[in-house]
Amino acid sequence: MKLKEKLKKLKKEIQQAFAGVEDLEELEKLRVKYLGQKGEVQEIFGQIGEVEPEMRPEIGKKTNELQEQAAKLHQKEKKRLEKKEKKQKMKKEKIDVTLPGTKPEMGYAHPLTRGMEEIKEVFLGLGFSIAEGPEIETEYYNFEALNIPENHPARDLQDTLYIDDKHLLRTHTSPVQVRTMENQRPPIRILAPGRVYRSDELDASHSPVFHQIEGLVVAEDISFSDLKGTIRSFVSEIYGEERDIRFRPSYFPFTEPSAEVDVSCIVCEGEGCSLCSRSGWLEVMGAGMVHPNVLEMSGYNPEVFSGFAFGMGWDRIAMLKYGIHDIRVLFENDRRFLHQF
Ligand code: DAH
């Protein structure tokens, strides 16, 4: 076939090929086939030397034209296909906002936290503020400053978890009383909730870690009736107004006089049942008037200042309130348990 005819045929072929192309990959193959360095257009350029000399300029010109046309065609198709593929991609990656979403898992406040928050609310309403102290305490704050003598059984290794000779895990929240008195001036009205530790074996009713809430009020002329009034408000808010309260004489080294506070049973209302061991009463806290020795050691003149204090174990109260029979479930953090509240 003559080169001139070959050129004509190639021109037609190129036009048809580019018109039918469907994607960029196919287009690139066509570009290589026709316009590449070893492509068909180059092949014609290579053959020009074989035609008669007088024909060469014309064929050369036509081949140049074909190359230009083909390049333009390629550019045009490339743009079209790029646009098309972008559109398809957008369509494919579109987010369907009407599809159901993945539900975020909701957390729940632990029953101990919930109860603690409720109690805090009550006391904040009575004008108290919240105080904190370290869980690793010194013997001084945990015992000595609270008038707990050297030979007191609570100081024994069997009851207290010591860290070294001088440091221990606080066995109650009462040391916060002393730390607060050292750092604030009266009138003092604080509530100190927190974790406490004792060397107890873990069983259904004992845990080496549990929670207490301490209260302290110190000012001039604070009397036992202030203590009673405060406890009355607290019991009404937390256990209900219909509850009876009773103060039983008791002993704590850091209060004088001291009392245990009982509340009429929340289940039988005083009749006697298994929860209250047939007594009709539930013991909820220890309390009393701050001992003069404690005031004095913290730098207060007991002739001028007086105060009351109370302390309660919150875990047992939460167990009563929520009908929990084993203290261990409070610390295992099993979600099946926690989700019930
Ligand atoms: N700290 C005592 C305990 O752990 C509880 C207590 C009793 C605290 C009487 C007080 C109080 O503030 O006045 O058993």
112 against 105, higher pLDDT: 112
What angle, 0 to 180 degrees and rounded to 10, lies between the N-to-C axes of helices 224-239 and 111-125?
Answer: 130
Per the CB < 8 A criterion, the answer to whether 41 and 34 are in contact is yes
Please give the average per-residue pLDDT across 249-264, as a whole number. Answer: 96
CA pair distance 101, 106, nearest whole angstrom: 15
Mutate to test the pocket of ligand 1, among 169, 310, 317 (most ligand atoms within 8 A of CB): 310
Q: What is the pLDDT of residues 170-186, one digit of tens each?
A: 999 999 999 999 999 99
Which atom of ligand 1 has the smallest separation from the CA of 287? Answer: 13
Tens-place pLDDT, residues 300-326 = 999 999 999 999 998 988 887 788 888
Residue ranges per domain, the chain?
Answer: 2-92, 111-338
CB atoms closer than 10 angstroms to residue 322: 14
Q: Which one-letter amino acid corresponds to residue 126?
A: L
> How far apart are the CA of 309 and the centre of ligand 1, in A?
8
**Mean pLDDT, range 77-100, rounded to an integer:** 90
Give the CATH fold of the 111-338 domain: BirA Bifunctional Protein; domain 2 (3.30.930)
Atom of ligand 1 at shortest distance to CA of 212? 4
Q: What are the pocket residues of ligand 1 if the criterion is a CB atom closer than 6 Å to any ligand atom?
A: 172, 174, 214, 252, 255, 286-288, 309-311
Q: Is 149 exposed, middle or buried (0-12, 13-18, 19+ CB in 10 A)?
A: exposed
| pLDDT for 249 | 98
**Who wins on pLDDT, 203 or 153?**
203
Nearest protein Cα to ligand 1, atom 7:
286
Taking all residues of the chain, what is their mean pLDDT, rounded to a whole number?
A: 92
Tokens 């539930």 belong to: 282
The yes-or-no verdict on residue 157 having pLDDT over 80 is no
**pLDDT attached to residue 148:** 92
Contact (CB, 8 A) for 213 and 191:
yes
The residue contributing the CA closest to ligand 1 atom 5 is 311
Structure tokens at 298: 């913290």
**Residue 172 alpha carbon, nearest atom of ligand 1:** 4
Pocket test for ligand 1, best of 169, 198, 252 (most atoms within 8 A of CB): 252
Residue 239: per-residue pLDDT: 87
Three-state secondary structure readout of 26-51: HHHHHHHHHHCCCCHHHHHHHHHHHC
d(CA 42, CA 173): 94
Residue in 142, 174, 209 to alter for ligand 1 test, most ligand atoms within 8 A of Cβ: 174
Residue 217 pLDDT exceeds 90: yes
d(CA 116, CA 291): 27
**How many other C-beta atoms are found inside a 10 Å radius of the C-beta of residue 217?**
23
Residue 19, pLDDT score: 87
Q: How far is the CA of 326 from the centre of ligand 1 (A)?
A: 23
Q: How far is CA 69 from the centre of its chain?
A: 67
Residue 61 pLDDT level (bands cut at 50, 70, 90): very high
CB 311 within 8 A of CB 213: yes
330 class by beta-carbon count within 10 Å (0-12 exposed, 13-18 middle, 19+ buried) = buried
**Mean pLDDT, to the nearest integer, of 181-196?**
96
Q: In which residue are the tokens 């009736």 written?
A: 225
Q: Which of 268, 263, 269, 270 is nearest to 312 (CA)?
A: 263
Q: Report the range out of 111-115, 121-125, 239-243, 269-273 with the highest average pLDDT.
A: 121-125
- 27-36, 86-95, 113-122, 290-299 — most confident range: 290-299
C-beta of residue 221 within 8 angstroms of C-beta of residue 213 = no
Residue 311 Cα, ligand 1 centroid: separation in angstroms? Answer: 4
What residue has token string 């570009």? Answer: 31
Provide CB contacts within 8 A for 40, sequence distance 6+: 10, 33, 34
Cis peptide upstream of residue 187 (ω within 30 degrees of 0): yes
Q: Which of 81-95, 119-133, 246-260, 291-305 has the lowest mean pLDDT?
A: 81-95
Angle of helix 3-19 versus helix 40-47 axis, rounded to 10: 170
**pLDDT at position 231:** 96
Q: What are phi and psi of 294, to 5 degrees?
A: -65, -45
State how far the alpha carbon of 206 is from the alpha carbons of 88, 256, 295, 332, in Å.
66, 28, 32, 14
pLDDT on residue 2: 84
Q: 271-298: buried (b, 16+ CB within 10 Å) or exposed (e) per residue?
A: eeeeebeeebbbbbbbbbbbbbebbebb
Proportion of the chain above pLDDT 70, given as a percent: 100
- In one letter, which amino acid is 198? R
69 pLDDT band, cuts 50/70/90, is very high
